[in-house]
Amino acid sequence: MHRVLNTIVYILLLLSIAPIAEAKDFVIVIDPGHGGKDAGALGMRTNEKSINLNVALKLKRMLERDMDDVKVLMTRDSDRFIPLQKRADFANRKHADIFISIHANSISSKSPAHRRINGAAVYTLGLDRSDTNLSVAMRENEVMKLESDYSTTYEGFDPSSTESYIAFEMMQHKNMD
Ligand SMILES: [Zn+2]
């Protein structure tokens, strides 16, 4: 857990240099993944949505304690379901300088690596060509299907189709700049 937090805070420090020079509040939106009817990955004793929320709350406390020129906002601070688009809308409405979506991964107990796996992974916006990145994005975005009107909201984006991600990546370049 500590390694996850250390990695995230380190990245924040790197990205915060330019906006602070402009003497404006740096807005950080923390997004605890999943929530409510969407539990995320399931463990023996807990589930992903609870871990994500607790890590997010802890990260918020650390940032507010250690960085007095940042404003920290959360997409959720309780156990409730928020559609993916609403999370992005919230960050855009608040003019977020950085959006951090926190997730916890799982591995099947049948996998031989089950007892050895640990550590943290950090993904930045943009899908590179690696199959791992793509499969993580596809798995996480399956949550769209829990929304009754997902094909309207996401304008035909199909979370299980590779072609959708190719089109999506092209659209993303505009926002990444
Ligand atoms: Zn997740």
- Beta strands at 26-32 and 70-74: parallel, antiparallel or unpaired: parallel
Residues 45, 43: Cα–Cα separation, whole Å: 6
How many A from CA of 133 to the centre of ligand 1? Answer: 13
pLDDT tens column, 82-106: 999 999 999 999 999 889 999 998 8
Give the pair of three-digit tokens for residue 74.
């959360």
- Answer left, alpha or beta for residue 129, where phi above 0 means left and psi between -120 and 50 means alpha: alpha
> Which 3 state secondary structure label does DSSP give 47?
strand
Which two tokens mark 56? 């997010």
What is the H or E stretch that residue 9 is in? helix 2-15
Q: Ligand 1 centre and the CA of 20: distance in Å?
A: 31
| pLDDT above 50 for 164 | yes
Contact (Cβ atoms closer than 8 angstroms) between residue 102 and residue 55: yes
pLDDT in tens, 98-130: 899 999 988 888 888 888 888 888 877 655 555
- Mean pLDDT of the 60-83 span: 96
Domain ranges across the chain: 2-122, 128-177
Containing 31, the helix (H) or strand (E) segment is strand 26-32
Q: Work out the percent of the chain whose per-residue pLDDT is above 90.
A: 40
Instruction: Classify domain 2-122 at the CATH topology level.
Output: Aminopeptidase (3.40.630)
Q: Which of 42, 48, 168, 173 is nearest to 109 (CA)?
A: 42
Tell me, in angstroms, the distance from the centre of ligand 1 to residue 158's CA.
18
Q: How far is the CA of 172 from the centre of ligand 1 (A)?
A: 21
Ligand 1 centroid, distance to 64 Cα (angstroms): 25
